[in-house]
Amino acid sequence: SALGCGTAGMAAIGAWKKAYLKGKNALFTLLIFVGAPIAQTIYGMLLMMYILNKSQAAPANWAAYLGVGIFGGIGMMASAWYVGKSAADACNALGETGKGLVNYLMVLGVGETVALFVMVFSMMLVS
């Protein structure tokens, strides 16, 4: 999530700078894009809690739990990073045009769905 939020944040700052240089008001709505990748942190926490609960019942399977946690975490990290990259482009586009907010949010929603799939499939592997 930090990679995605940081990437989108840099683009938002750039869009705000461009707006200020043109004498325009900065769009506060760009923060929506900056915060979009942070949801993957919650998905990761949910997966972690699920794995911890399952591991107490069968501690001998610790290696499988570790593997699912690592690969699930990598999948969510990739999703967050690319949602952040898409959010960065959305910041740039909305900052320049002032149009397309809902369209950009739909694109970010597709990336969020990937993280949800990773979480659910990881939980299914542990079950």
Tell me 98's DSSP state. Answer: S
Q: What is the pLDDT of residues 70-124, one digit of tens each?
A: 999 999 999 999 999 999 999 999 999 999 999 999 999 999 999 999 999 999 9
Residue carrying the six token digits 């700052």: 13
Q: What is the pLDDT of residues 34-79, one digit of tens each?
A: 999 999 999 999 999 999 999 999 999 999 999 999 999 999 999 9
The reported pLDDT for the residue numbered 49 is 98
Residue whose C-alpha is closest to residue 26's, from 102, 106, 96, 117: 96
The reported pLDDT for the residue numbered 20 is 96
- The count of C-alpha atoms lying within 13 angstroms of the C-alpha of 5, restricted to the half-sphere facing its C-beta, is 11
Residues in the chain: 127
Asked whether the beta carbons of 40 and 76 are under 8 A apart, the reply is yes
The reported pLDDT for the residue numbered 52 is 96
> Could you give all domains of the chain from N- to C-terminal order, each with its CATH number?
2-126 (1.20.120.610)
